[in-house]
A and B are shown apart, each in its own frame.
Chain A
């Protein structure tokens, strides 16, 4: 499969610190890819490398099917918002937009007004200084800046960071709308899985610089949904028994734990059936995980220091 963006063991080392460690990330056209990780997990460094702001120490990446060294002419198809919107505070939204449009050789001013209207910033665009904007307005302006040049790919680093709940909803809806209406592929990072889960179609979990998991939205829902989690004495035999009971929605983890996603009220019957087949049930529980709990479980818990 050809990906719109793909990394091949991309690594970034600062002195003795490995910020990004052999990451292999895959992004398909039209996706909203949620890159999740704690503060310091390496999200920003990874996005900076993809945005051409930092050079990988090892490994490489390709964008639009072209290897890193041949992406120079394709760079204007990528919109970047890294570590908050970089804006001139003493200039207006219009002037900030104009600066970026000039570098891309775009002299028509109408599209600036259109883009600002698109992100809900049509008022006082040439009067109000950016320093008078709220954080949410600055984030929206930052996203409008990324849209100059009609990009096919957006790299958004923590766009909801520091926003109030209303601001988070606005940015989330804006990202979803951009993906849908403009068919833009979006790689968005955050440390809040709950928020990303409302818009992303695919996820990557970055932890201590390593991409420890990549999964689709459907898979995330499946992983977090209510289930019977059973630890039998013989998992292979238990699977045969479970299938014999007509259960098809199940998953075997670590060759010892079976997660069953249907007939949740029949846990007693399952234990009985296993016992009939001389399989001991070492433990059984009905579980469901909140997204954040799931995220913490795969990254080693909230208390663990990086």
Chain B
């Protein structure tokens, strides 16, 4: 398993797609900073008091991290990264050189996902440092805030992104193509699924009457994208369990598919 992860990280470091995605994401991170600078500091004096009241955005570190990652922008970048990385081996036929080496084909899927998570982690850490660093240096209104809150938000965001990566990885393994992986991943990233889920909630309430229970409470993307970072311990634990269940199911499903399917 160690060798498999090492091999995957090597190929990730050499892949053109990794470099392009990293550059695009760093650019978007700096773009986010630019928008924050204009909205929060208003350096060109272009906003009226009414605009400022409407656009008022928190410049506390924990809120900045949340706004950077819990967004369509990062989810799209993440989905493209995971899908391309997960499918690259199969797309060029390199898997035929490797899969037969071990009888435990599922290890290849697990190692690929772990490597994708490592790549995502590096991307998140680097972009967080760049974002917080530029904000601390150039955003007048920047506040570090509570370190405990920052750590909590970072933990929740990271947990959510690990789960998203597992879901994107599963779709890619299931459809064995970049397009097959990207379509459902983008449906999730762009919030289209979220809207469908809200419609389901509405229909559910129409059919069963108003209840405390709504289906989207158990749907990961809906729960995570609407999560209140100030929520209490129980809500965080519930989200953690949901993340764990979705991650185990999707990664386990990917491993099972890899083990049972022939390499074509």
A→B interface (CB under 8 Å): 48, 51-55, 69, 71-72, 75-76, 78, 80, 82-91, 95-96, 98-100, 102-105, 145-146
Contact = CB atoms under 8 A, between A and B. Distances in A.
Contacts of B102: 52, 72, 75
Contact of A80 (B3, B6, B100, B104): B100
Interface in B1-33: 3-4, 6-7, 10-11, 14-16
B157 to A, nearest CB: 32
B207 to A, nearest CB: 40
A158 to B, nearest CB: 13
A52 B103 contact: yes
Contacts of A100: 7, 97-98
B104 A72 contact: yes
B98 A103 contact: yes
A95 B92 CA distance: 14
Contact of A102 (B3, B94, B99, B103): B3
DSSP majority for the B interface? helix
B87 to A, nearest CB: 13
A100 B97 CA distance: 8
A75 B14 CA distance: 27
Contacts of A102: 3, 6-7, 10
B150 to A, nearest CB: 37
Given A99-B11, A105-B3, A83 B99 contact: no
A48 B99 CA distance: 11
A87 B92 contact: yes
Which of A85, A87, A103: most chain B Cβ within 10 A?
A103
A52 B96 contact: no
Contacts of B14: 88, 91, 95
A69 B14 CA distance: 35
A75 B3 contact: no
A112 to B, nearest CB: 13
Nearest to B95: A86
B263 interface: yes
B262 interface: yes
Given A53-B100, A71-B103, A75-B103, 13 more contacts: A48-B262, A54-B262, A55-B262, A75-B102, A83-B96, A86-B97, A88-B15, A88-B92, A95-B11, A102-B7, A102-B10, A103-B3, A105-B3
A51 B88 CA distance: 21
Contact of B11 (A48, A76, A88): A88
Contact of A75 (B15, B88, B96, B101): B101
A80 B92 CA distance: 15
A132 to B, nearest CB: 14
A54 B3 contact: no
A71 B16 CA distance: 36
B103 A90 contact: no
Contacts of B133: none
A145 B97 contact: yes
A51 B11 contact: no
Given A88-B88, A99-B7, A52 B99 contact: yes
Contacts of B215: none
Nearest to A157: B96
A30 B45 CA distance: 82
A121 to B, nearest CB: 16
B145 interface: no
Nearest to B260: A55
A72 B4 contact: no
Contacts of B97: 80, 86, 100, 145-146
Nearest to A92: B14
14 contacts: A48-B262, A52-B99, A69-B103, A75-B100, A75-B101, A78-B100, A86-B93, A86-B96, A87-B92, A88-B11, A88-B94, A99-B7, A99-B94, A102-B10
B94 A87 contact: yes
Nearest to A98: B10
Interface in B150-194: none
Contacts of A104: 3, 101
A76 B101 contact: yes
Contact of B15 (A76, A90, A105): A90
A84 B93 contact: yes
Which of B6, B96, B102: most chain A Cβ within 10 A?
B96
A262 to B, nearest CB: 48
